[in-house]
């Protein structure tokens, strides 16, 4: 087994507590011959600011660029509310995304049967749900120029944001979505608003062309983003992979995520372009949730989103699909046995701490 290189960036708040569970898990997998990971650890966010006055040091940034994959915990909190804008904790994550060229954000929404009653929707609508939203992360209206506010001088102002997409940006995100669909249920919904947006017209045209030329064997449907939002709430199981732009993806992925119940359960991945020689993509894996300052340092955090993010790294960066299945299966089985951290607690279940949850998952492996 070739040695794999992982950089751990726990961050601050509960980031350090949940990353500790992944470290235990990796140590177990290495010791039992199921993996051969070499891990290194760096500082990001509040922890980097406290140590070096930056959001991430150049040394740790270089480590992130050299690693086979980065696992990121969480950053932020009231302690750093007053630090300068460029070195605030969130700047560390933005720098990583930018310098690693992470343009594809993968947000799975999986509803574990044991937690289906925690959803705001009926059990039959969400039980067994397994969808993947692929959001374009580096283009669109969040970054397009011009982006400004003008004073019109008559007591009025005008604010402008600009949605910009070029062909190559749509092509590369479409390829990520189609490739992922092939490993799943082989279906993609592409979502935009071509009825009112030029960028939606181009999006539709480019995704259709990539499909016709390279992925005819994958089923492609186009869906307007507002209808997609409705369908996600009405009948989410009709979807397999949804590919969409930065803005719609931000909103649709948060909506889809909440169908499953808890923030503490949700992993994500961000991928870059394939390397010209090795074909490997730069990748960062992180829970969807933040640093949860309200519960940090108390052993209450749910480590499952972080552990499930590590499982995504196994699947997408290391092609260790069987081990990824095994880790996800271990999560499902501890939930079936009724173990719960506070955030997902239900009547008749056993409340456990962060480390007890981690230990129970490891015991299944
Ligand atoms: P949050 O996700 O940290 O917390 C929201 C609520 O969910 C809190 O009540 C928290 O206790 C709970 N929660 C979150 N993760 C949990 C877990 N694993 N187990 C149990 N309960 C959990 O979002 P919030 O409160 O809006 O932000 C807190 C800080 O985190 C802010 O500084 C924010 O900027 C930062 N943040 C960082 C992100 C990142 O590092 N990628 C993402 C989102 C927020
Ligand atoms: Mg969001």
Q: What local confidence, expressed as pLDDT, does residue 126 receive?
A: 93
Listed in order, the ranges of the chain carrying CATH 3.40.50.2300 are 139-258
Burial (CB < 10 A; 0-12, 13-18, 19+), residue 99, is middle
> Ligand nearest 90 Cα, by number?
1
Listed in order, the ranges of the chain carrying CATH 3.40.718.10 are 1-111+263-365
CA–centroid distance, residue 287 to ligand 1 (Å): 10
Q: Architecture of 139-258 per CATH?
A: 3-Layer(aba) Sandwich (3.40)
pTM score: 0.94
What is 1-111+263-365's CATH topology? Isopropylmalate Dehydrogenase (3.40.718)
Is the minimum distance from the CB of 340 to ligand 1 under 6 angstroms? no
Of 55, 138, 69, residue with least CA distance to 97? 138
Is the minimum distance from the CB of 358 to ligand 1 under 6 angstroms? no
Q: Which of 40, 142, 179, 364 is catalytic?
A: 142
What are the tokens at 202? 């181009």
Active site residue 364: no
CA–centroid distance, residue 162 to ligand 1 (Å): 29
Please list the pLDDT of the chain residue by residue as tens digits (365 residues). 678 999 999 999 999 999 999 999 999 999 999 999 999 999 999 999 999 999 999 999 999 999 999 999 999 999 999 999 889 999 999 999 999 999 999 999 999 889 998 888 999 999 989 999 999 999 999 999 999 999 999 999 999 999 999 999 999 999 999 999 999 999 999 999 999 999 999 999 999 999 999 999 999 999 999 999 999 999 999 999 999 999 999 999 999 988 887 889 999 999 999 888 988 999 999 999 999 999 999 999 999 999 999 999 999 999 999 999 999 999 999 999 999 999 999 999 999 999 999 999 999 99
Active site residue 325: no
Is the minimum distance from the CB of 308 to ligand 1 under 6 angstroms? no
């Amino acid at each position: 087994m070739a040695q794999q290189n992982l950089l751990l960036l726990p961050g601050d708040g509960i980031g350090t507590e949940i990353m500790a569970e992944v470290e235990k898990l990796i140590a177990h997998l290495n010791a039992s011959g199921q993996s051969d990971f070499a891990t290194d650890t760096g500082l990001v966010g509040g922890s980097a600011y406290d140590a070096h006055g930056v959001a991430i040091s150049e040394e740790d940034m270089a480590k992130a660029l050299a690693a086979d994959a980065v696992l990121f915990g969480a950053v932020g909190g009231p302690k750093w509310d007053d630090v300068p804008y460029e070195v605030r904790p969130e700047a560390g994550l933005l720098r990583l995304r930018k310098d690693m060229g992470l343009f594809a954000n993968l947000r799975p929404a999986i509803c574990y049967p044991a937690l289906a009653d925690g959803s705001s929707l009926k059990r039959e609508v969400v039980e067994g749900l397994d969808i993947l939203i692929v959001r374009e992360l580096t283009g669109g209206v969040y970054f397009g120029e011009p982006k400004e506010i003008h004073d019109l001088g008559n007591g009025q102002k005008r604010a402008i944001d600009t949605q910009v997409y070029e062909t190559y940006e749509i092509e590369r995100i479409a390829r990520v979505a189609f490739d992922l669909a092939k490993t799943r249920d082989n279906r993609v919904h592409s979502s935009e608003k071509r009825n009112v947006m030029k960028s939606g017209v181009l999006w539709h045209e480019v995704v259709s062309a990539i499909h016709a030329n390279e992925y005819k064997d994958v089923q492609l449907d186009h869906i307007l983003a507002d209808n997609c939002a409705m369908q996600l709430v009405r009948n989410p199981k009709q979807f397999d992979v949804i590919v969409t732009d930065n803005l719609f993806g931000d909103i649709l992925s948060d909506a889809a995520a909440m169908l499953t119940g808890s923030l503490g359960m949700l992993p994500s991945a961000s991928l870059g372009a394939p390397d010209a020689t090795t074909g490997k993509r730069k990748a960062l894996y992180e829970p969807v949730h933040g640093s949860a300052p309200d519960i940090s340092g108390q052993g209450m955090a749910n480590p499952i989103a972080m552990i499930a993010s590590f499982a995504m790294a196994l699947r997408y960066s290391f092609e260790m699909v069987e081990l990824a299945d095994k880790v996800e299966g271990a999560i499902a089985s501890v939930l079936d046995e009724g173990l719960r951290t506070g955030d997902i607690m239900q009547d008749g279940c056993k409340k456990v701490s962060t480390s007890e949850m981690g230990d129970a998952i490891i015991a299944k492996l």
